[in-house]
């Protein structure tokens, strides 16, 4: 085979891989055969994987553990991911991709607080997280997230029914940049925890709560602004200026004692 033919073949291969990556980034149709081609890419073509920043594998329901890990290890510069993971897979992801800012692992039913803690330790620049229907998560994971990732703007813990006001309060105290939160289906939360969030996070635009996923309550826009103003008016001056005791104060005003 002549040199120019070899060179042309290599260019065709690189072009094909590049096109596949573009499809992946844009979430267009991509089948398992094409995904396997990505995973077997030669070293010369790894630059395409190294530069990949957004990875959405929701549609790859048949991807194997080996394929997923191989792909993660070849994409160290990921900033945004969206797929179902186990504890082991999330740990490997966060140890290899420390530039993550957006993580959607909703419906990852096997996830526990342990891998969430490692996520927050390895990826402190997170701004968006979605743990919807990650039923095993508790306050332990939420509190670790709040303490390590203070630039969070959007969080979704809908369906995480183990969460209580304790975790919500730590989130409110540490993450002042929050704009959108969803705690629908978190049946153990009370108004005291929600009020703490409203007062401590002045940039909030949308709060979704509710005792079940089918019975949601949304507070946004002017209604949210009015709720915050009403709460602030109920506070003593020293607390309004530094609302660290908001839950205790609101509990006293509503006639409920703190445990």
Residues 80 and 73: their CA atoms lie apart, in Å, by: 15
Q: 126: helix, coil or strand? A: coil
DSSP codes, 71-122: HHHT-TT--EEE----HHHHHHHHHH-TT--EEE-TT-TT--HHHHHHHHHH
Q: What is the pLDDT of residue 75?
A: 85
Q: What is the mean pLDDT of residues 204-230?
A: 82
pLDDT band of residue 257 (cuts 50, 70, 90) is very low
Q: What is the pLDDT of residue 51?
A: 75
pLDDT band of residue 226 (cuts 50, 70, 90) is confident
Pairing of strands 215-220, 206-212: antiparallel
Block residue for tokens 């890419």: 41
Residues 165 and 208: their CA atoms lie apart, in Å, by: 15
Position 246 pLDDT exceeds 70: no
Do 45 and 71 form a contact (C-beta atoms < 8 A)?
no
Encoded tokens for 193: 């925890």
Phi, psi of 93 (to 5 degrees): -60, -50
Query: pLDDT tens across 7-61, in order?
Result: 444 556 555 655 556 555 454 445 556 666 666 655 555 666 777 788 888 877 7
Q: What is the pLDDT of residue 49?
A: 73
Q: 175: helix, coil or strand? A: coil
Block residue for tokens 């089918």: 214
DSSP codes, 144-158: HHHHH-TT--EEE-T
Query: pLDDT tens across 97-122, in order?
Result: 999 999 999 999 999 999 999 999 99
Q: State the CB neighbour count (10 A cutoff) for residue 219.
A: 19
Residues 98 and 120: their CA atoms lie apart, in Å, by: 10
Query: pLDDT tens across 151-195, in order?
Result: 999 999 999 999 999 999 999 999 999 999 999 999 999 988 899
Q: What is the pLDDT of residue 28?
A: 44
CATH code reported for the domain at 79-253: 3.80.10.10
Q: What is the pLDDT of residue 24?
A: 57
Q: What is the pLDDT of residue 122?
A: 97
Q: What is the pLDDT of residue 250?
A: 53
Q: H-helix or E-strand containing 181?
A: strand 180-182
Please name which of 148, 74, 152, 140 lies closest in space to residue 113, comparing C-alpha atoms: 140
The pLDDT > 90 percentage for the chain reads 47
Q: What is the mean pLDDT of residues 238-245?
A: 52
Q: What is the pLDDT of residue 50?
A: 77
Q: What is the pLDDT of residue 159?
A: 94
Least trusted range by pLDDT, from 99-108, 213-222, 240-249? 240-249
pLDDT band of residue 258 (cuts 50, 70, 90) is very low
């Amino acid at each position: 085979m002549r040199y120019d033919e070899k060179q042309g073949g290599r260019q065709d291969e690189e072009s094909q891989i590049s096109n596949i990556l573009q499809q992946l980034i844009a979430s267009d149709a991509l089948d398992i055969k094409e995904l396997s081609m990505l995973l077997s890419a030669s070293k010369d073509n790894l630059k395409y994987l190294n530069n990949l920043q957004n990875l959405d594998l929701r549609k790859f329901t048949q991807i194997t553990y080996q394929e997923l890990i191989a792909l993660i290890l070849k994409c160290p510069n990921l900033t945004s991911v969206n797929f179902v993971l186990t504890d082991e897979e999330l740990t490997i992801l966060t140890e290899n991709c420390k530039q993550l800012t957006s993580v959607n692992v909703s419906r990852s039913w096997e996830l526990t607080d342990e891998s969430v803690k490692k996520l927050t330790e390895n990826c402190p620049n997170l701004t968006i997280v979605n743990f919807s229907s990650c039923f095993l998560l508790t306050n332990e994971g939420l509190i670790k997230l709040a303490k390590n990732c203070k630039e969070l703007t959007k969080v979704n813990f809908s369906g995480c029914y183990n969460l209580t006001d304790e975790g919500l309060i730590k989130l409110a105290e540490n993450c002042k940049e929050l704009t959108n939160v969803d705690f629908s289906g978190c049946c153990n939360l009370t108004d005291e925890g929600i009020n703490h969030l409203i007062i401590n996070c002045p940039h909030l635009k949308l709060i979704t709560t509710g005792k079940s996923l089918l019975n949601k309550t949304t507070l946004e826009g002017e209604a949210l602004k009015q709720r915050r103003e009403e709460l602030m008016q109920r506070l003593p001056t020293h607390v309004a200026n530094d609302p660290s005791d908001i839950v205790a104060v609101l509990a006293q005003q509503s006639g409920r004692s703190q445990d």
